[in-house]
């Protein structure tokens, strides 16, 4: 594989002239040693949104800064940043001759969003920038009272025995949850013992109060207690930071160091782990999503597919498919807003196919600063590996091995 020449994403160390030269060279070497991009599936989290809930007002006697839009809706800045990403990635796909550089044939592009307003708006922002004036439609479930099974992260097995096993595993995970430092740091900010939830529901001590598991067979897992309280409050802080609010409006100005962010975001990461990394249920929960992805991978007419969902979906996919552990540099969130896991199908001169998977995302400060990404200021990217699809030094694994893996679903 080392002899193959290929381009995956723009290298920020190259000059514009370097990029032009490399592009020209790539177009010339259509024979031996060339990898050609055949298909791309992008699984994206929605971009910056308003905080998901107003319940945070019960968790402290402090007054949260007001947002000008309803909870959970995509912000104008989120739409703008998504457009930048759409423009950037389309340029990459066009350079690699996957897309024509003009309006693509409708059957070659699939844009599919979960039926939440923030995911639909994210998909439309991507499309409007990627394919201006091309009338590329965004597919989504039109009945908003229905949970689209492709994106729904409910546990599908409804047997009582399965439910008990899941509950046992959750309780074990909660017992091993090490968040004392994070809870103490958060309580310095919100002082929960003076809050409404302390007065009315008895949650007055983030460190010692017990998390209550709420799980009905066939439904989404929910928690009630310190982890949920912490997750919702820190999410508010994170979105306020990304949105570019004055720092005195982010956690009332009480987060003043990267070390504090690192500690506090342990809460949101743990909430993700508890709800979506349950050993016995992760494959069950992710199965409809992976089956839909498989239908795309086996459809040669589709050149680009964009699926827009949630951090839960990205979490489930990476865990269910056995991705190797990874860390995203310059980010505190494990699955940041607007971040995308990009599955790339490449073909070599011998007719063999390979998979490359990259996580493409904006850094913590790129999101806050509203950076317009381009060749000079690219997004960050991390090559991902899968346990059952060993990669070479270029991040490539045999396509057939990957298909064998997803066929298990």
For the chain, the domains span 16-51+74-148+282-406, 160-276
CB neighbourhood size of 248 (10 A): 10
Q: In this predicted structure, what is the pLDDT of residue 221? A: 87
Contact present, 264 and 254 (Cβ < 8 Å): no
The residue written with tokens 């589709």 in the block is 302
Q: Are strands 353-361 and 380-384 parallel, antiparallel or unpaired?
A: antiparallel
* Structure tokens belonging to residue 396: 């490539």
CB neighbourhood size of 219 (10 A): 14
**How far is it, in rounded angstroms, from Cα 7 to Cα 4?**
10
pLDDT per residue as tens digits for the range 196-244: 999 999 999 999 999 999 988 778 889 999 999 999 999 999 999 999 9
Active site members:
46, 311
What are the angstrom distances between the C-alpha of 148 and each of 302, 339, 355?
A: 21, 21, 28
**How far is it, in rounded angstroms, from Cα 125 to Cα 145?**
24
Domains 16-51+74-148+282-406 and 160-276 share a fold: yes
Q: Are strands 397-398 and 353-361 parallel, antiparallel or unpaired?
A: antiparallel
**How far is it, in rounded angstroms, from Cα 40 to Cα 56?**
39
The C-alpha torsion from 130 through 93 and 318 to 323, rounded to 10°, is -160
pLDDT per residue as tens digits for the range 374-406: 989 999 999 999 999 999 999 999 999 999 999
What are the angstrom distances between the C-alpha of 228 and each of 117, 143, 147, 183?
A: 23, 28, 22, 12
What are the angstrom distances between the C-alpha of 111 and each of 44, 134, 231?
A: 11, 13, 30
CATH topology of domain 16-51+74-148+282-406: Rossmann fold (3.40.50)
Homologous superfamily (CATH) for 160-276: Phosphoglycerate mutase-like (3.40.50.1240)
Phi then psi for 270, rounded to 5 degrees?
A: -70, -40
Q: In this predicted structure, what is the pLDDT of residue 122? A: 99
**How far is it, in rounded angstroms, from Cα 25 to Cα 8?**
15
The C-alpha torsion from 160 through 166 and 167 to 169, rounded to 10°, is 150
Q: Which residues of the chain have pLDDT under 50?
A: 1-33
Per-residue DSSP letter, 324: P
Find how far residue 409's CA is from the centre of its chain.
Answer: 21
**How far is it, in rounded angstroms, from Cα 264 to Cα 82?**
26
Please compute Rg for the chain using Cα positions.
Answer: 22
Per-residue DSSP letter, 34: B
């Amino acid at each position: 594989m080392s002899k193959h020449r290929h381009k995956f994403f723009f290298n920020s160390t190259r000059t514009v002239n370097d990029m032009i030269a490399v592009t020209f060279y790539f177009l010339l070497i259509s024979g031996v040693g060339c990898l050609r991009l055949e298909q791309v599936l992008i699984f994206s989290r929605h971009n910056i949104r308003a905080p998901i809930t107003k319940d945070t007002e019960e968790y402290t006697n402090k007054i949260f800064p007001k947002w000008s839009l309803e909870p959970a809706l995509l912000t104008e800045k989120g739409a703008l940043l998504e457009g930048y990403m759409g423009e950037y990635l389309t340029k990459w796909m066009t350079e690699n001759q996957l897309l024509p550089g003009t309006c693509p044939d409708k059957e070659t592009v699939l844009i599919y969003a979960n039926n939440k307003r923030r995911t639909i708006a994210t998909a439309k922002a991507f499309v409007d920038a990627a394919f201006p004036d091309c009338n590329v439609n965004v597919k989504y479930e039109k009945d908003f009272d229905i949970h689209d099974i492709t994106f729904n992260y409910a546990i599908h097995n409804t047997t009582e025995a399965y439910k008990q096993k899941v509950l046992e595993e959750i309780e074990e995970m909660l017992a091993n949850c090490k968040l004392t430092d994070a809870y103490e740091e958060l309580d310095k900010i919100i002082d929960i013992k003076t809050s409404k939830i302390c007065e009315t529901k008895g949650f007055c001590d983030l460190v010692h109060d017990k998390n209550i598991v709420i799980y009905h067979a066939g439904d989404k897992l929910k928690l009630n207690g310190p982890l949920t309280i912490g997750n919702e409050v820190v999410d508010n802080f994170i979105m306020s930071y990304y949105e570019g609010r004055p720092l005195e409006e982010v956690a009332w100005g009480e987060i003043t160091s990267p070390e504090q962010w690192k500690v506090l975001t342990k809460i949101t990461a743990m909430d993700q782990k508890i709800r979506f990394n349950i050993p016995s249920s992760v494959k069950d929960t992710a199965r409809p999503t992976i089956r839909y992805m498989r239908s795309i991978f086996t459809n040669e007419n589709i050149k680009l597919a964009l699926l827009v969902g949630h951090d839960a979906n990205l979490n489930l996919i990476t865990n269910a498919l056995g991705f190797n552990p990874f860390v995203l540099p310059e980010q505190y969130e494990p699955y940041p807003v607007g971040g995308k896991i990009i599955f790339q199908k490449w073909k070599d001169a011998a007719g063999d196919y390979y998979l490359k998977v990259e996580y493409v995302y904006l850094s913590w400060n790129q999101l806050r600063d509203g950076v317009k990404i381009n060749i000079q200021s690219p997004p960050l990217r991390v090559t991902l590996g899968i346990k059952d699809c060993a990669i070479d030094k270029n991040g490539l694994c045999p396509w057939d091995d990957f298909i064998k893996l997803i066929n298990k679903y």
